[in-house]
Amino acid sequence: MALGYTTYKTPNAIFTIGSDLTGKEGCGVTLTQQGAVAIATATYDTPYGIVTVGGPSEDNVYPGLIGGSSVEFVDMLGCTVQVQVSGTGGIVAGDFVLIDITEPGTYVSQFNVLVSPGDWLWGLALTNCLAGEQCLIRFQPLIAP
């Protein structure tokens, strides 16, 4: 799933990143504008994908160009992927997960935060995990009613 000018499994051309993705494996990204992604920082940020291989921009400036195959995402609905869980609390298999605003890009269970209408649930947890660990989810975004 190397990400150069175009992403794997999606028609969107991604050529700019708005935040350093180095060490952000398992974190969620949102489409900030056409052709640009950044770490999701709010529960209402529209899910684009999850970082599987992180990296800096080509010029170490943000927003900056994505270099060669320096960044990879899982962005196809239904894919399973390891995500980074925040320190807010653990996750139980079957919980829906959403972005934790206290630790941008990381995930928290729907039962550990107040979910409001318009928040995005990024997927369904497939494994149990403790706070600060990684959890396997099925990437299947839906908006909270």
DSSP state of 46: P
Residue 119 in this model has a pLDDT that exceeds 70: yes
Q: What is the mean pLDDT of residues 35-51?
A: 94
Could you give the strand order of the β-sheet that contains 16-17, starting from the edge strand earlier in sequence? 2-3, 71-74, 47-53, 28-33, 36-39, 16-17, 64-65
Instruction: Compute and round to an integer the Cα radius of gyration of the chain.
Output: 14
Quickly state the pLDDT bin for 44 (edges 50, 70, 90).
Answer: very high
Name the residue ranges covered by the structural domains of the chain: 2-75, 81-143
- pLDDT of 111 higher than 60: yes
Residue 14's pLDDT band, with cuts at 50, 70 and 90, is confident
pLDDT of residue 2 exceeding 60, the answer is no
- Angstrom CA distances, 125 to 35, 55, 129, 134, stand at 29, 26, 9, 11
pLDDT tens digits for range 53-65? 888 888 888 998 8
- In the prediction, which pLDDT does 32 show? 92
